[in-house]
Structure 1
Amino acid sequence: MRCVSMPEVKVVNLWKSFGRRAVLKGVNLEVEDGEYFVIVGPTGSGKTTLLMILAGILKPDRGEIYFDGELVNDVPPEDRRVGLVLEKFALFPHYTVMENLLYGPVVRGEDLGRALNVAKEMLRMVLLEDRPDAMPTELSGGMKQRVALARALTAGARLLLLDEPLGALDARIRASLRYDLVSMVKNMGLTAIHVTNSIEEAMEIADRMAVMRDGVIEQVGTPMQVYENPANIFVADFMSELNVFNAEVVSTGDGWTELRTEEGFTLRCSKGPLEKGMKVLAAVRAEDVDLEHGLEHGVNAVPGRVVDVEFILGFYRYVLDVGGRTLVAEEFSDWGVFKQGDEVTAKFRQDKILLFKQGRG
């Protein structure tokens, strides 16, 4: 079911400051019609500010915002037909579920009969058709979030903006509801822009994603593109835990490069040719480190000792001391292979070593 025609969203050279602090710095972004687009980044990177500007709640200092090719900078929030769903559900506590849904259409003077039919359909879509008379206090967190979504859709939203919509829920409900949310948006043919701090959430639900830092979009792509080919060391480190080595190119050829790290380790990666003597950052994701018992020296083989072991939701996180520095390895297993004090060798696959320029990535 497609309830409304949803827009392509285009942002051109968007700037926003609060006092002397620039929060958005020349942001450019395009979101396709019908896309479930996710924006991630550390706290303070500008994600929510961008969302509030799209909603019309904040005005940019300069730059342009287009919905389906129409400039909307001066269009007030109530006329943008944008649905905003926040982490805090913001339901009217003294209204029933149905009254919450009908509030917007009634205030705008829309036909009550039509609005009621739309509201009933939205409750059916969010699987709450049997709870129209319930008060918010009678609902679970997941139900409240679905009511907030239904309210946005009943109001005739053209664009769905979601700011940490699942952040207030416990882990089990959050994991289940994220699939329900995307399924509902897709079934209705909507376009959605979803802000989250959770990489796991973004990887699971996004058609495409953007990574933000300090008011700038560092990279846009599918989750797999961003994970496998990060634009810089910041994106790589934000997407997963990294082991980073300062290194120098000692030899290189077509599709390969050999490096010597500050610690004296020899690494060989599937990148090249590069300039001999070039200073680089060589990075290996924790999940791409393979551990073996015993000490071994060689190319892409680093000997060390296990100093800490953690079990985290289905995988083991091993902290190693390798030549006086820390190295982290993650292995998915339901039983721990290594224990504290074990002598091990950390091995890196040639095609899993990432290379970046030194300096601010």
Structure 2
Amino acid sequence: MSSKEAITNWASKDGQFRRQQSKFRNAVSNEQGSRFPVEKDRYHLYVSYACPWAHRTLIVRALKGLEEIIPVSVVHYEMLEKGWRFVEEGETVNGATKDHLYGLSHLRDLYFKADKEYDQRFTVPVLWDKKQETIVNNESSEIMRLFNSAFDELLDGEQKKLNLLPEALLKDIDEINAWVYDGINNGVYKTGFATTQDAYESNLIALFDALNRVETLLAESKGAYLLGDQLTEADIRLYVTIVRFDPVYVQHFKCNLGNIRHNYPHINKWLKNLYWNNPAFKTTTEFEHIKKHYNLSHKQISPYSLYVLGPLPHVEPEDDGEVILKIGNVTLNNLNPAGEGNDKRHVLKHQEPSA
């Protein structure tokens, strides 16, 4: 990777952010001639808790009960010139791990192990084949779909039955995914990494137009999810951006025309339901990694590496009770205006960023 293509250079000459296309696009299958057959403990997943693209693969992995079938290594939240790194000997970072397979110091070394001539960004997630010692896939949308069904023969019960891509809803899922990706998932990055005012404003407006569209979709939904009463892939792909929106994107990426908790009641209700009622969402959401990564890694945006404390709580309580925050000798009341008149109280004492 040349100096002109350094991992921390994000925008093109016109000020617009353009995302790199993933290089490794293989499938896991038992079809005849498959290079990567279905096997337990053959594959290993490399992720970052900070990264929304990796996060969505973790959610599907948890929903499908693949934890014992596909182990995971988690990088440090800090990503500098050499890309994602693993924790060092004696270093403790909640949730982060060493490289369980090879003891590598950086994720880039795994890419070079798969391809000595690799010259693109060293992204997560990475699905790795331990037998052939190569990357199967590093495209998160495809890994999600592999996890949804490719390993079903190794599962039983409800997890095997769970299908995040029901045939009857597949067309709608794909349509939602397309505009949510462009306007929201990638939209926050196009806004935050813009280097001209025109690029920033055009992407910001498109982002909030897409959020308005989601708000309407949820307001008209006949159930708790985007497409009614069934959780689908579309909910997962949207969640990983929305759960980061108020804590990070509003301030760090200047996506500040509004926020989720105060301006989008239906999205906020949907978010709270997923976070508080489905362990696959809450247990894979690590706010320390999320808040520190963006502000410590993006030096061109945050040169002094300061990460904000608020807003707290990161996800509001589902019951809309009154929220009281204590920081040192300062107490802040009524952080959740919707909780006024509700006799339930949530007292938060600030420590490091956490759920």
TM range (shorter): under 0.3
The two structures have a TM-score, normalised by structure 2, of 0.26
Q: Larger Cα Rg: Structure 1 or Structure 2?
A: 1
The two structures have a TM-score, normalised by structure 1, of 0.26
